[in-house]
Amino acid sequence: HADIPLSFSPTQEGADTPDSISGARLGLSLFVLPLGIAYESYEVSYSSDSVDSKDTYQIASVFVNLPVPVINIALGAGAGMVTGEGEKKDNTQLTADDSAATSFFATLGYPILPLFDVHVGYQVVNANKMEGKNPSGGLEYERDPSGTVWTAGIKIGF
């Protein structure tokens, strides 16, 4: 299966709304087994009056395809890292320590042909807070990269 992110909503109260999200989740499961593996990489970009920053999510997951008639349901969990980087408007580069992340997702799909389905997904990502620091070590921003992601995708069986 292949999914693309449609939206990212931070879970931290009062957090900045991201300007954009891009990336994909790719998964593979054998037709005879209900278990599969997936890898996802998302980039979430933020822009403010003083700092432009980007968080990159890289998560490996395992999932199970539930044996439900008529619809396709998959549930998954994974772990990975969130890395952050930024740049102030005066071109000063900012760095952030990597943050451990866990992820839980569910997809709901509808078969359109015997071996194809279209689906939507909902994912919850929990991560530790990140601190953006300037080259001298001063704190420029602090952000909790936890959030929820809506996805859309297709699955092809073979």
pLDDT at 151: 97
Q: How confident is residue 14, by pLDDT bands cut at 50, 70 and 90? A: low
| 136 has pLDDT over 80 | no
**pLDDT at residue number 87:** 82
Q: Which tens digits make up the pLDDT trace of 80-127?
A: 999 988 887 788 787 788 899 999 999 999 998 877 899 999 999 999
Q: What is the pTM of this model?
A: 0.86
Please classify residue 121 by burial: count the beta carbons closer than 10 Å to its beta carbon, then call 0-12 exposed, 13-18 middle and 19+ buried: buried
DSSP per-residue letters across 47-110: E-SSEEEEEEEEEEEEEEEE--SSSEEEEEEEEEEEEEEEEETT--EEEE--EEEEEEEEEEEE
Rounded CA separation 113/155 (Å): 11
Q: Is 137 helix (H, G, I), strand (E, B) or coil?
A: coil
